[in-house]
A and B are shown apart, each in its own frame.
Chain A
Amino acid sequence: MTIALALAVVGLPLLPALAAIFTARARPLGFIAVAAGLLTLAGAVALAIHLAGGSRTHALSGFVSLDALSGFFVFTVALVVALASFGSAAYLRTEEQRGELSPLQVRLYFVFFALFASLMLAAFETGNLGLLWVLIEASTLASCVLVGLEAKAVSLEAAWKYIIISSFGVTIALVGTLFLYYAASGLTGSPTEHLTWSFLFAHGGGLQHNSLRLAFLLIVVGYGTKVGLAPMHTWLPDAHSEAPSPASAMLSAALLNTGMYAIIRFQAIADVGLGSGFASDVLLVFGFLSITIGALFIVLRGNFKRLFAYSSVEQMGIIAVALGFGGPLGFYGALLQTLCHAIAKAVLFLTSGDLVLRFRTRLVDEVRGVIGLMPLTGAALLLGALAVAGSPPFGLFLSELTIVRAGFASSNAVLVGLLLVLLVVAFIALMRSCAAMALGVSTDADGSEVTVAYAERSGRLLAGAPLVVGLAALLVLGVWIPGVLDRLITHAVGVIT
């Protein structure tokens, strides 16, 4: 039952890729992508509910392995895939109608969007750290096509930068995995077991300390490149700003979490092998550096998609800090933050897609009065920014409060103070730009040509639905965490502590 669900979750996202063999029209492909996204989400919810009870499944000598932590990440990413597939259906159709994308590009988009989603979901379902590396690496290749899709000089440059820096990262992650495997060479068991997470977690005490330390550092640098932890984040703003907006949503809300998932798994092993101090210190250093750099670059007004990308760097920093604070409260806060950030950032990037289609620009200063021109998009922009900035009553307020409590519980009062200062800076900077875009005086009055983001009613519906659903989910998570989600996160924390 569990295995069947797990296979369905990996297989269903591939439907649009199959359909793209037969047609290159954005309209039918979009509908198939939406259907596949919803079916995947249904499968992921069923799987998560099943795993929320605390059950664990191992098959094929650990190559397939499911526990509450995998269930949580499968649910989060499937939710993002579902939201982004609505956005893709609307965005691609408009770009096709305007002649911006050729049939080949539409086909490529849906094939690689599907592959990207499927590979990320598969990464959560394996317990073998070698296979995890292969899957994350493959998802990088799939997403590279999405970044360079528009085939303009700038987007190809972004794709180059993305893949060369990520490839550097995954090579370092491979060296880290090799060192971990070497650290396990004194243990009994087969070579395959020496790469199986559950085996290493159970026998963490027998790992060689120096090799394990080196392995964890290399893993944080390697997978941290995917997560966008500073100073390895430099690919992130370029890739996010150049990819089509629904793909940016996938990069920011799903891919970064995939990297973070790998780091969490390795942190658990390092904690068992070395005690909690080492891994915590490493994550706190990278976390604070990321929050600082993210917050400072949000202050620069320029391209709004880059603005949201730097906000992702900052948010990933917050999650790393939460993992660094550690303890059940820290891990709970980190996971809740992961889910809420994923939803909020998906909403913001989908909103940015509407803005790009309407204003034909990515510059903050050229976008004004969105709320008057496009009420739903404007409201989503304002509320989404408030949510990401951690304002009540949205989910991120609750998760950041949990992280602050975790900081006090681990007697890191000074660091908590620093965290709060940086959060305030990021809040002011993000709201200054987003409020100006949403509420400022519209410049359309000067007679410039008005374009409509979505010509058809169904396009408007497809574009609006994920915004409404995402914001509603964030509101609900701000005031009430459903029992089954609470159990899922609690058991996920139990898996790694």
Chain B
Amino acid sequence: MESLSALSTEGVLLNLAAVVILLCAFACLGSKLFDRYIAYYGLQSLTLAFAVGVVADQRSEPGLWALAAITLVIKGIAIPLATRLFLLDRFDLSRDVALSTGLSRSLVLGAALTVFAYLTIGSGEIGVALDTRAVVPIAVAVILLGGLCMVVRRHTIAQLVGWLIIENGAFLMAIATVATFPFIVEAGVFLDLVAAVLIMLTFVSGLAARLAEASASELRQLSE
């Protein structure tokens, strides 16, 4: 199996893309405006599509080209557009008030999680054999940051974006470590389907609107 070298053009591009993806996750975490969440997520997805394209080009895998195309069209364009049209515009959402942790504190937590990812993954044997090993801890950090976003934000749209960031992190890890994973395209399609269902459910249920107007900002009815 031909592998990427960290110093080859492709290797440098992949590392750069990974850093941009990480920065986008941080940008989401440090923002309070819904359209910013969506914009950063869109940028992150476009960068991921580019990274998948780099690996696909290097390995000449048609499956990976398909994944790059799906990432570009669905994650990079369709999901941000649908979220903007059906959720932000319809419910007239602009500012996220359902934060359980302040912005600066969540950024510090995010930094701590990134360090944690480096310490646990970077020092272990995982990825040592790969020339793309710098990408693995970044991908894990992106997954953790997405999780953090879901935990500290209680608005449905923020949680949706948090989950989408986790998904991007998972795919970044997949192309960096196991680009030959046989189910990579199917997994991409399925998770996009889930995203579609989530957007639809938020749209139909009006949960987003309820949270926007209630300053208490909690899903109260089912709490116990």
Contact = CB atoms under 8 A, between A and B. Distances in A.
Instruction: Check if A and B associate.
Output: yes
Interface of A: 130-131, 133-134, 137-138, 140-141, 144, 148, 153-154, 156-161, 163-164, 167-168, 170-172, 174-175, 178-179, 181-182, 185, 191-192, 195, 208-211, 214, 237-238, 297, 300, 302, 306
Contacts of A179: 126, 177
A214 B126 contact: yes
Contact of B143 (A175, A297, A302): A175
B160 A164 contact: yes
A191 to B, nearest CB: 5
Contact of A153 (B125, B174, B205): B205
Interface size classification for chain B: 35 or more
Interface in B98-130: 124-126, 129
B197 A133 contact: no
Contacts of B222: 154, 157-158, 161, 238
Contact of A168 (B163, B206, B210, B224): B163
22 contacts: A131-B183, A134-B186, A134-B190, A141-B193, A141-B197, A159-B201, A160-B201, A160-B205, A164-B159, A164-B163, A167-B163, A172-B166, A174-B170, A175-B143, A178-B170, A179-B177, A185-B129, A195-B181, A211-B125, A214-B126, A238-B222, A300-B224
B163 A211 contact: no
B181 A130 contact: yes
B205 A157 contact: yes
Max chain B C-beta neighbours (<10 A), residue from A170, A175, A300: A175
Given A171-B167, A306-B224, A185 B178 contact: yes
Contacts of A163: 194, 197-198, 201
Question: What are the 3 A-B residue pairs with the smallest beta carbon separation, nearest first?
Answer: A130-B183, A156-B205, A238-B222
B23 interface: no
Nearest to A156: B205
B177 A178 contact: yes
Summarize B's interface: helix, strand, loop or mixed. Answer: helix
Question: Interface of chain A, helix or strand or loop or mixed?
Answer: helix
Contact of A178 (B124, B173, B201): B173
B187 interface: yes
A130 B166 contact: no
Contacts of A237: 224
Contacts of A160: 156, 198, 201-202, 205, 207
B202 A175 contact: no
A156 B197 CA distance: 12
Contact of B178 (A138, A170, A181, A214): A181
A141 B173 contact: no
Contacts of A158: 222
Contacts, number: 118
A137 B205 contact: no
A164 B198 contact: yes
B191 interface: yes
A174 B187 contact: yes
Given A133-B183, A191-B182, 8 more contacts: A134-B183, A153-B206, A156-B204, A159-B201, A160-B156, A168-B166, A185-B129, A195-B182
A60 to B, nearest CB: 13
B194 A154 contact: no
A219 to B, nearest CB: 14
Contact of A171 (B191, B201, B206, B219): B191
Given A141-B193, A141-B194, A191-B180, A161 B219 contact: yes
Nearest to A175: B170
A210 B126 CA distance: 7
B219 A210 contact: no
Interface in B110-158: 124-126, 129, 143, 147, 150, 156
Nearest to B166: A171
A300 B198 CA distance: 31
Nearest to B120: A214
B221 interface: yes
Contacts of B170: 171, 174-175, 178
A494 B173 CA distance: 35
Contacts of A182: 126, 177-178
A65 to B, nearest CB: 15
Greatest chain A CB density within 10 A among B160, B173, B222 is at B222
Nearest to A195: B182
B194 A167 contact: yes
Q: Which of B197, B206, B207, B224 is packed against the most chain A CB atoms within 10 Å?
A: B224
B181 A181 contact: yes
A302 B177 CA distance: 48
Contacts of B124: 210
Given A134-B187, A192-B182, A210-B125, A153 B201 contact: no
Most buried by A among B160, B174, B194: B194
B142 to A, nearest CB: 11
A156 B207 contact: yes
A302 B190 contact: no
A191 B160 CA distance: 33
Contacts of A164: 150, 156, 159-160, 163, 198
A481 B224 CA distance: 40
Nearest to B223: A238
A178 B176 CA distance: 11
Contact of B219 (A157, A191, A192, A300): A157
A152 B196 CA distance: 20
Nearest to A237: B224
A191 B204 contact: no
Interface string B206-219: 11001000000001
